Amino acid sequence: MAGNLKLIKNPLSKENPITVQVLGICSSLAVTAQLKPAIVMSLSVIVVVALSNVVVSLLRNTIPQRIRIIVQLVIVSMMVILVDQILKAFVYEISKQLSVFVGLIITNCIVMGRLEAYAMSHKPYVSFLDGIGNGLGYSFILITMGFIRELFGSGTLLGYRIIPESLYEAGYANNGLMIMPPMALIIVGIIIWIHRSRNKDLCEK
């Protein structure tokens, strides 16, 4: 049991997909200008990583080594399109929020990364947990970034105004750079910096 719990806990910090494995950086820059898309993207990535981990793990002994990447890609694309179709049919509002981001999950390196590194060599149940764990680790960073960027870039959170009007009248201005992708990269950098200074064993010699 303790081993299974580790599968969920480790990706949150010591094996975080973004800050340590450096996977999924591209989407973390694209969807974090506001908090809401960051949260919705996080949820869909958790679902897709967990499900495709299970499917690939079930098929792992039948997949020929030489075409394994293509096989994984087909499975991931199928999952993503299915998720997209189901969202469109039953939770239309949320699917509109996600729009292009659902398609972006196919290219999210975390999904392929976990399939290659874990699901291809482990049983379905632990692969499922590994998917959930990594999805959560990804979500944690994404939501942190969305929070910082929306708060300082637009002065709102989830669309609600947080920074009071009086402060704007006193001369405060939103930081326009926060909304731009370069600032997202800088924020990831800062998060990695803080993370490593607290976990010395992660630093390369």
Partner 1 sequence: MFSNRYIFVYSTVLVVVAAAVLAIAAVGLKPFQDQNEKVEKMQQLLSSVGISSTVDSAEDLYEKYFTEEYAVNTEGKVVSSYVDGKQNGDVRPFSIDMNKEMDKIKNNSGDVALPVFVCTKEDGRKNYVVPVVGNGLWGGIWGNIAVDEDLNTIVGVNFGHKSETPGLGGEIVTDKFQSQFKGKSIFGKDGGNVELAVIKRADKTDAYQVDAISGATITSTGVSDMLKNCLGLYIEFFRTLKTK
Residue 135: CB minimum distance to partner 1, A = 21
Q: Which is closer to partner 1, CB of 11 or CB of 153? A: 153
Residue 101: CB minimum distance to partner 1, A = 9
HEC states along the chain?
CHHHHHHHHHHHCCCCCCCCCCCCHHHHHHCCCCHHHHHHHHHHHHHHHHHHHHHHHHHCCCCCHHHHHHHHHHHHHHHHHHHHHHHHHHCHHHHHHHCHHHHHHHCCHHHHHHHHHCHHHCCHHHHHHHHHHHHHHHHHHHHHHHHHHHHHHHCEECCEECCCHHHHHCCCCCCHHHHCHHHHHHHHHHHHHHHHHHCHHHCCC
Query: Do 9 and 133 meet the contact criterion of CB atoms below 8 Å apart?
Result: yes
Q: Which is closer to partner 1, CB of 55 or CB of 129? A: 55
Q: Which is closer to partner 1, CB of 81 or CB of 162? A: 81
List of residues contacting partner 1 (CB under 8 A): 31, 33-34, 37, 62-67, 70-71, 74-75, 77-78, 81-82, 85-86, 88-90, 92, 99-100, 150, 153-154, 176, 179
Q: Which is closer to partner 1, CB of 134 or CB of 154? A: 154
Q: Which is closer to partner 1, CB of 64 or CB of 182? A: 64
Residue 78: CB minimum distance to partner 1, A = 5
Residue 143: CB minimum distance to partner 1, A = 15
Residue 62: CB minimum distance to partner 1, A = 7
